[in-house]
Structure 1
Amino acid sequence: MFGKRLFHQDKPMPKGSKTVTNLDLQVVLHYGIPYTASILTFDPIQRLLAIGTLDGRIKIIGGDNIEGLLISPKKLPYKNLEFLHNRGFLLGVSNDNDIQVWNLECRQLVYSLQWETNITAFAVIHGTCLMYIGDENGLMSVLRYNSEEGKLLSLPYSIPARTIIESAGIPCPNYQSIVGILPQPSSSGTRVLIAYENGLLILWDVLEGHVVSVRGYTELQLKGEGSVDHQTEDGNELESTAVEYEEEKEICSLCWASNSGSILAVGYINGDILLWDISSDFSKKQQAGSSSKAVVKLQLASGSRRLPVIVLKWSPNAKADDRGGQLLIYGGDDMGSEEVLTVLDLEWSHGIDSLRCISRADLNLNGSFADMILIPSAGATEHNSAAALFVLTNPGQVNVYDGAMLPVLKSEDGKVHLQAEKFPVAVPTIDPCITVTKICLIQPDGDSSKKLLTKSAAKGYATTPTLSAGTRWPLTGGVPSESFIAIDNEAERIYISGYQDGCVRIWNATCPILKLMFLLEGKVPGTEVDGQSGSVSALEFCPTSMNLAVGNECGLVRIYKLRGSASESSFHVVSETKHEENPDS
């Protein structure tokens, strides 16, 4: 009926009927990771992962195959994505500077605010509904989401770059774009690190309205040198560099490299990584004329042309002494080098003056890099060691590494033998590649569906994976629907998909949370048939006889009889010259 209406729009429709233009077609369910995925964020309390895309979609993934899809009315990339932790709201900033608020419970866009200038930095204060916004003109503003009114409210607190920089006593041009904002850990958001386009770093006290520390400005940084001891525990030498007089250079990325917020890691466009000690009060240091070293440099490659340091992440050690951890880096290598993710194990005893690089490891990526995120352990505080590392690559793949393996990574002849684990998905679409699908109704007599479920129950598929070192799977959030809880003894609909490797998967699709029932391999032990591994090209299911026919690109047809006892099953192989029935145990 819909096909006729679609192709015969020019014909007059009966009075009172809806036309195609009145149809509101919506995606009800979506499984897997979108091909255009580009950004990750995580709620450590509700244990939910959000994945933003280049075309205005947001995928929400929790535990037990619970997934949701949010579709923005604007098909634009997201440049920022943040949860309001444990509050059921997700904030997204699109490329046209539209700040969106999504209600996760009802899966709806509940508010949007069009910002007048280009947003260049965005940060939510942990545990609150407050957020900092930095723009291209150097203005830092504060917003609050009022859940009762359902609105984003601009607070009467905004500071232009000129005010902050003049407060530090630094002559600076009026135009200074903010490129990064980081609330300082353990300050409840009252102190915030602001990074400007020219490399200037200022730690600002919001309540007191004054500068706490200044770093990165050439006239205020002494020419004293600081070095990093790049020796591993086994004595192997790594690249050793020293910090000399630093010129202004553009900041690409930054992150805190300590739980207390005393050390800041900054990545630059020329491939350098500087670790700044901002624990000392700048005004006192300037008055005393101190010559203590406030910065050391890490350099991953020695070439003259290096990749910008795009992303930096910090995973502290399990110890509570705040004296080391793993710095994860994307970028900084020589131009044209293999795309890798670098993990540096750093340690210091008395501030960054004693910084040592214990080891370096390079992880090969499966696809081109898009984003990465460290997932903390359940119940951990904001800056505990990571339970897992999720690396997003194109097209639409999430590679998973056990966080317990990061502190023990060591290179052997420049190679690390740590394979990324596959992100468990309810419906595989890429690995293996899906080729044909079908959704079918089961006869409502109850007998067929119960036998089908009884038979599939013998397969026993696990739904809660563990990582390589035995770490518990970190995503547990999401609430199953009431229909899923109630319907556990019958199947009204099944979803069938065929794959490029010849296998077929069948799910119970009675409710939105699909449950895998069967995995039918293309090959049968003890049976050799020409073309049996060919890509599945056609599926047909008969709900009366409960027979499934599978055709592949080699012209082979397999017929599975799904109705029967749990202890027996069979399939038929049909070719041009013969018809064979074989047991499938």
Structure 2
Amino acid sequence: MDRAKKKFVSAIDGLRSLTSRMEIVVDEKIQPDHCRLAKIARHGFPDEARCIAYDAVQRLLAIGTGHGEVRIIGDTGVDYLLKHEADHPVNHLQFVINEGGLIAACGNDMIHLWNYRQKTPEIVHSLQLNKEAVTCIHLPMGSKWLYVGTDKGNVYFVSVGTFQLSPYIINWNKAIDLSCRVHPGSVRQIAASPVEPTKLLIAFSKGALVQWNLVTKEVDRFPLDPPIKCFSWHYEGKQIMTGNVDGSICIYNMKKTSEPQQKTTPHGQGCRPIPIIDWKHTTNSDQLIIFSGGMPTDDGLPVPALTFLRASKSATVLEMDHPLLSFVTLPQVPFNSCPQQPQALAVLLKGELMMIDLQMPGYPCIESPHAMDLHEQPVTCVTYYSNCPSDLIGALTLVGCKQRRKGFSERPWPVSGGIGRECATGHQELILTGHKDGSLKFWQASGENLQILYRLKTASHFERLEELEGCEKVSHAVKLIELCVESRLLLVSGVSGQVTLFRFSKIENMNTIAVSLTCLVVHIPQLNSLTGSGSDERVEAPQAPKEIRRQHKVISRDSTHSPDTSVDSDDERIVPFKVRGAAVKRSAGYQPELACLIPWPSTSQADSVTSAALNSAFGVIALGMTNGLALVDIFQCALIYAWSTSELFGSDPTPAVQLNLADVSSESPTEFNDSGDNAVTIPSDGTSLPDKSVLSPKHSRASMVLRRNTTEFATSSRERYREQRREHPDQQDIILDGRTPSISSRPTRCNSERTSNTSVGIMRRITKKGTAVARSVSFHSHVNGDQVIVGESPRDMQVLSRNRIGTVPSPSMSNHSLEKLSLACAETVTFVAFIHSFSRKNDSRASPCLWIGTNAGASIALNLILPQDRLISSVIVAPSGTVVKLKGQVLFQCFMDQSFSLASAACEAYRENNKDCGSPEKTIHNRVITKASLCPTYSISADLSEDVPQSLVVVGEFEIKVIALPSFIQLFIHKCEEIPLVKARATHVRGYPVLMCLAADGKIAVLSLPSLRLIYQAPLLPYSVEIDNPICQRISFSEHGLGVYMASPSEVEKYTICSEIADQASDALGELFVACDLPDPPRNNNSFLKGVSSMFSGIQRQDSCDIDSILADRDKTSGGMGGGATRTVARTIPGPSVNMERTQASGISAGQAAFAALQNISERGEKLCATVDATENLRNSAMNLSQRTGKLVEKLEKKKWYNF
């Protein structure tokens, strides 16, 4: 029977849905070619960095990563990303000096040659090694051959021009001593002599070092004791310096390699190996030795450190915070055959790039113009604003200048190559990143360069409880960021339930922090149990005469609950943080004003904020939690009310709390009369409270709002209450403690006098079973225990609404749907938004509302009544009873006006020390974002201005709906049941309103508004995404079709779905390669003597030999390997650019042949035409000759021959 009823109800719902749809035709101007996904720029430190390279002429720095990517950075704004097709790590990099080429060796044993002469770098050639793995590469300056070392100990030579493998090979068995019966290991390092390029040094992984002569194939071997880890040439080519396994440094003379010329141990005996060493000289022959490692072993764990040794000076050791991967010296002279005059040292750490000034004492760091410290603390959330006001960026820059870090070198950034990008988007862009330690960073992203503006610490005013020091769930990590760019209010939510409201100030202030507890007590086993609310605290700085003064005693730092803020003494809920609310002098910038804490049921059940909204015009903060909602008044710094999720559903056709206003059609906020007290009536005829089983003292307590007022205000409130009790001795209190529920049989009147302007009726509805549906009482802050005492002053009036989950159908939901919602007592609020809209069916006027979305797919509207004086009266909130149901979790909600233009809630403009409550004449209107000329046109059978003055767009996981307001008729629907959505936002593409969504498969979809037509779809993320994946908090959509996301834990990437902006970004690209002349090579002082000695000795100089002829001549190769054998070792793969060139060449030749054939045909036709003409002329001539001959014959025949 129940099943039949459910089927019948579902059929009724289907009929209702059929009849509640409006046929509307919208002519949208957005087209698919208006959308294109393009990644504009990537900022931050490369994730999983592996190697580093430097071009001393172009002044560019390249970093290879473990994901097959290469980042090339230069001057400010020069930051390019090169991406290989495969995700294999880039292990080795080598620049083709001043040629616009970069060679990358990847983990799949492929070597690629990148050409970055054009704006978009491309791969020119690739070489795949088949049987051996690449372990190191080396390209001497000006050389045409790349030296490749492999894991088998062999050395190969690759032509840079053609990427063909040379038949010349240095085999490991010919390089080592014949007496050595052990494989030397893989090739660790290769370097050619700076003076004689035919001499190579080859270091093997097991400590062997040899010198190979390319011409004579002679080998000079170095001793194996101690084993050598690395080496560095002297610029004259006569000596080398080696770093050894035992932490020692040796200098060898190249004429006598059997023993070291000098040996030192910089850090004493028993040290760790030295993996990298560099030997440089300055112009005054001052040598500089830099090496990593070599630290003593008695320190325990290896400490990453760099050691600097200068002649006649002591050693300098710099300890690093992260493991050291590699370093490269940045010389002023690119040639290594002369003193290179090093100016800086680029150090690549695991998670950081350091630039050390080598010309300053103490070796300070040079500040980088690139955002390499983006991940200084792990990024937990990202918020992006692409239309930020320029004055806000200027103000942040001004206050951020005082936060500039000290201790940096004054020298400019030495990697100054390339030409920076222009501003591609033309918008003022601001990126906010929240971090694990509770800090916030404000970044300017307008000029295609991520520049730090301001840093904010949100954890400085919170202190952990001592008993929760070891709890992992107690964290300062930032979870949500809400910034009102117009009023400059900032709301920051943490993962442990701490929320802070910051107000921007240009000057230093001495202020305290108000504290508010948003408590919820939800009893899940019983649907009819009443939930308890939290406490409320109000603190205001003494600014204007109307403002309430702060409490004389400051909040204790040892306890979050002060005597005026304690709710229940036997409450076992846990507040993980204490607020340091004492008066502290705070620097200019964002200063904390209000702190909201969400108590936990227990240490194992941590509660946190799941969604948040901030509206400066309404002056209200909405906090969605895992099991409820809380509203906080910004002006009073007080909690308005806290609901459990089940209380948000209005089950009656009319709201549970009736607000009988004198002028309901008024468009301005409701005004409260300050001259008299508002009468509050509680009708109770024929009603009764639930029994003890429903209202138990443990789980059923009245929700209370507790303020922290001044002592004078609390005393005057108590006196007024006692006075009223003396005047009305028969008046009874409402005590909701679960033990003595009683109420008068007649309405209890708190005041016999009503105001003429407004009247607020607060009703308590009872179901047929006697369950309390909703209560709304007004009370003071001097509440004892569980008692809620009815008060009469509008100054303290708070309306508390409690909704019933019953069987009375709501206007938008059936009984069957409501039963499903009734089972979800602990629904999570996933989205909140303020708007001036219609909250109930067939409303005549729009009013301030709060729209709430839950994870069960319910979209709920709450009415907000804003009083005239916000410092005296509080905001009244009432459920509207409107629920819109969707499939899956509600992700986003937005509104459109009658012309289908996107609209957002009103906001206040920024004013310094702005805490006024607004003028009585001030009206609140939505802001229209879409331009009127770009709005879609429509056609409908009825008048659209009367039927659809506003539209609601609700985005769920599995479907999207467009609802007409106030008729609540469904206009359009889009289903995505196969691949659900995880994130959405309304934006504009070329000014046209669209909906930008991220699907679970990582694709970004663009839908038109309001028809929800799928326009464009493209992959954004290379992996699938769950709705609770942390990447959803680290991806942000913004206006103009722009967005950012964390491409890696340390990189943020900006993208766009607008083809116009994508074209602008492509045109605004800078230049990596800047054509410049190579400096003149240094003169060798010994060249004349060498020439004279070779002339008299008759021996040809070895350095004059052509290396190209040696490596390309097959007769002089070692082993005489042919071309067929080289193909088994490696295979050349031409790049796409080469294939394109070949295709173009073949296309050009075919075109030329076709053109020649057509030309020949034309010439042949012309000749044929000429022949025909000549034949015709001959025919005509013959005809004329025949006629003339006939006439002559006839004339001669008629002539008389005998005429004499």
Q: Report if TM-score (shorter chain) is over 0.5.
A: yes
Deviation, 1:541, is 4.1
What does residue 99 of structure 2 align with? 87
Going from structure 1 to structure 2, the CA distance change for 1:492 and 1:129 (only over 3 Å counts) comes to: farther
Matched, 1:182 2:159: no
Counterpart of 2:243 in structure 1: which amino acid?
G
Counterpart of 2:479 in structure 1: which amino acid?
S
Alignment of 1:115-134 (within 5 A): 115-116=129-130, 117-134=132-149
SS in 2 for 1:31: strand
Deviation, 1:561, is 9.8
What does residue 120 of structure 2 align with? 106
Matched, 1:387 2:343: yes
What does residue 243 of structure 1 align with? none
2:155 pairs, out of 136, 140, 147, with 140
Mapped contact 2:364–2:407 kept (Cα < 8 A): no
Distance 1:154 1:468 in 2: 47
Alignment of 1:371-410 (within 5 A): 371-377=326-332, 381-382=335-336, 383-394=339-350, 396-405=351-360
Deviation, 1:452, is 5.1
2:501 pairs, out of 557, 561, 567, with 557
Counterpart of 2:140 in structure 1: which amino acid?
I
Counterpart of 2:481 in structure 1: which amino acid?
L
Distance 1:338 1:500 in 2: 27
Tell me the TM-score normalized by structure 1: 0.67
Deviation, 1:113, is 1.5
Counterpart of 2:170 in structure 1: which amino acid?
I
Mapped contact 2:135–2:188 kept (Cα < 8 A): yes
Distance 2:354 2:192 in 1: 29
What does residue 71 of structure 2 align with? 59
Going from structure 1 to structure 2, the CA distance change for 1:578 and 1:325 (only over 3 Å counts) comes to: closer
Distance 1:56 1:419 in 2: 32
CA deviation map 1:492-528 (0-9, x unaligned): 5432323456654444435533455x426458xxxx9
CA deviation map 1:336-394 (0-9, x unaligned): 365143535365xxxxxxxxx742232211122222222223x5644513212232222
CA deviation map 1:3-47 (0-9, x unaligned): xxxxxxxxxxxxxxxxxxxxx998653211134223222111121
Deviation, 1:190, is 3.2
Alignment of 1:7-406 (within 5 A): 28-104=40-116, 105-116=119-130, 117-146=132-161, 151-163=162-174, 176-177=184-185, 178-187=187-196, 189-196=197-204, 199-206=207-214, 208-211=215-218, 214-217=220-223, 247-248=224-225, 250-256=227-233, 258-278=234-254, 280=255, 294-303=260-269, 306-319=271-284, 321=285, 324-331=287-294, 333-334=296-297, 336=300, 339-343=303-307, 345=309, 347=311, 358-377=313-332, 381-382=335-336, 383-394=339-350, 396-405=351-360
Work out the percentage of aligned pairs sharing the same amino acid. 20
Distance 2:283 2:409 in 1: 16
Mapped contact 2:491–2:499 kept (Cα < 8 A): no
CA deviation map 1:62-105 (0-9, x unaligned): 12143222333333333322111222222222233221223334
Deviation, 1:421, is 6.0
SS in 2 for 1:512: coil
SS in 1 for 2:359: helix
CA deviation map 1:409-445 (0-9, x unaligned): 6xxxxxxxx6656655337423355432112332xxx
What does residue 229 of structure 1 align with? none
Counterpart of 2:278 in structure 1: which amino acid?
K
Tell me the TM-score normalized by structure 2: 0.35
Distance 1:297 1:584 in 2: 70
Mapped contact 2:422–2:448 kept (Cα < 8 A): no
Structure with more helix by fraction = 2
Distance 2:205 2:232 in 1: 16
Counterpart of 1:214 in structure 2: which amino acid?
D
SS in 2 for 1:96: coil
2:381 pairs, out of 436, 447, 451, with 436
What does residue 239 of structure 1 align with? none
Q: Which has the higher contact order (CA 8 A, sep 6+)?
A: 2
Counterpart of 1:573 in structure 2: which amino acid?
E
Counterpart of 2:381 in structure 1: which amino acid?
V
Mapped contact 1:572–1:582 kept (Cα < 8 A): no
What does residue 498 of structure 1 align with? 434
Q: Number of paired residues?
A: 469
Deviation, 1:184, is 0.9
Mapped contact 2:184–2:208 kept (Cα < 8 A): no
Deviation, 1:332, is 5.5
Distance 2:261 2:592 in 1: 72
What does residue 20 of structure 1 align with? none
Mapped contact 2:483–2:490 kept (Cα < 8 A): yes
Going from structure 1 to structure 2, the CA distance change for 1:267 and 1:419 (only over 3 Å counts) comes to: same
Going from structure 1 to structure 2, the CA distance change for 1:33 and 1:324 (only over 3 Å counts) comes to: same
Deviation, 1:124, is 0.9
Structure with more strand by fraction = 1
Distance 2:633 2:499 in 1: 12
Deviation, 1:112, is 2.5
Distance 1:458 1:344 in 2: 38
Matched, 1:478 2:418: yes
Deviation, 1:192, is 1.9
Distance 1:558 1:300 in 2: 53
Distance 1:56 1:85 in 2: 22
Counterpart of 2:416 in structure 1: which amino acid?
T
Deviation, 1:123, is 0.5
Going from structure 1 to structure 2, the CA distance change for 1:293 and 1:204 (only over 3 Å counts) comes to: closer
Going from structure 1 to structure 2, the CA distance change for 1:192 and 1:303 (only over 3 Å counts) comes to: closer
SS in 2 for 1:513: coil
